[in-house]
Amino acid sequence: MSIEKINMPQLGESVTEGTISQWLVKPGDHVNKYDPIAEVMTDKVNAEVPSSFTGTLTEIAAEEGETVAVGDLMCYIEVAGGESGETAVEEANTNTTGNTVAPEPKSEESSMKKRYSPAVMRLAQENDIQLDEVEGSGKGGRITRKDIEKIIASGGMDRKQEQPAESNVPAENASGNATIPESKQQVHTSEGAKEIPVTGVRKAIANNMVKAKTEIPHAWMMVEVDVTNLVKYRNSVKDRFKQEEGFGLTFFAFFVKAVSKALKEFPQLNSSWAGDKIIQHKDVNISIAVAKEQELFVPVIKAADEKSIKGIAKDIHGLASKARNGKLTAQDMEGGTFTVNNTGSFGSVQSMGVINHPQAAILQVESIVKRPVIIDDMFAARDMVNLCLSLDHRVLDGLICGQFLARLKEILENTSSDNTPIY
């Protein structure tokens, strides 16, 4: 018998960590290779982690709710076919002369006490917490994320014996006003307020948004588009399309097709920032936002520029259905090069999207509304939509983005049954 490690796998492109939402097995359970052992949430996807071996689970090293970096330990499993742990210890402690050296006793607490997860280390560093002073509540005295959060909620480590009394007085800034360190600030709540722990998908989204806003210098542009002809065209064929194909023909499919066409003409927007270089992608893979209750996923329509409007509509329907049923895979979330967000679905008419890191831009397609527009010096009721583009100013500037939006506007305003095939 041998003891093997199961580490956090790579669950998607650019995914660096995952939060264990639920263990599906417990120590002592027998598992077969490829059997799911845990459910893990990332900022890209919810997924089940399969066992890498057939054997008996002996120890869980990461608790539910804990965030584990890719490649870090999740659990141990005893596998048939190798040497036992005891045999391995005995052989490892035999010196070169053949004499057996008595192994030093190793308590479970000493082995687990300093086994910190990435989430614990990050929280401790951000809040100036010395981990060697923390009493862990986990197995073998291991310090868990909940232990650190409890310390943060109570105002930090108790250092009264280490610091003079006056150190508790807030420092003054240059203007003479007292300042409170950000990590020590507390939110005062009224009676009856509800506390909602930030975990799982919401935590992953929060971390991704902070990363995007702190690393990417956002800029914003908007154009107004007359889509009256597009609306008439879609409304004239939607019923027959639904009857023949079994899924709906949405306005969003027309917008995604137009964006993919414009990206082929302006590939600068189909790019990613990579530190010392800009990666300009050949494939046009459109990320779309799909909501499931309080969870948000960003699956990808692959090779959107090569698909018809029907093909794009089918992908949108399929990805949305998989998201609602919890069936999205890591492959569904990988490879996005540009994001189109259908903010118009909930009535928004103007918004600035946060760029989906490491992409260079995101387009918000707002709600189509009837508005009076002047045509040939006369008012006319037209179907109008705002297209709002957020751009990474390290990669793009206003000139190229303005040209892209002008071309996109032209494509959409000329969409009709005469020149825009659906199939």
In the DSSP assignment, the letter for residue 44 is S
pLDDT of residue 164: 45
Tell me the per-residue pLDDT of 296-305, one tens digit each, with 9 for 90 and over. Answer: 788 999 999 9
Q: Where in the chain is the domain with CATH 3.30.559.10?
A: 218-413
Answer yes or no: is pLDDT of 315 > 60. Answer: yes
Average pLDDT over residues 361-378: 94
Q: Residues 72-91: what's their mean pLDDT? A: 64
What pLDDT score does 282 carry? 95
Helix (H) or strand (E) holding 52: none
What value does the mean pLDDT take over residues 208-224? 89
Average pLDDT over residues 331-347: 92
106 pLDDT band, cuts 50/70/90, is: very low
Higher pLDDT, 99 or 405: 405
**CB atoms < 10 A from the CB of 197, how many?**
10
**CATH 2.40.50.100-classified regions of the chain:** 1-161+199-215
User: Per-residue pLDDT averaged across 133-143, rounded?
Assistant: 75
Three-state SS for 8-27 is: CCCCCCCCCEEEEEEECCCC
Active-site residue set: 393, 397
- Tell me which amino acid residue 203 is: K
Q: Which class is domain 218-413? A: alpha beta
Instruction: State the CATH architecture for 1-161+199-215.
Output: Beta Barrel (2.40)
pLDDT at residue 44 is higher than 90: no
Q: Give the pLDDT of residue 174.
A: 45
pLDDT-above-70 percentage for the chain: 79
Interatomic CA distance for residues 22 and 48, integer angstroms: 9
Neighbouring-strand partners of residue 338: 286
Lowest mean pLDDT among 112-121, 333-342, 399-408: 112-121
SS3 403: helix
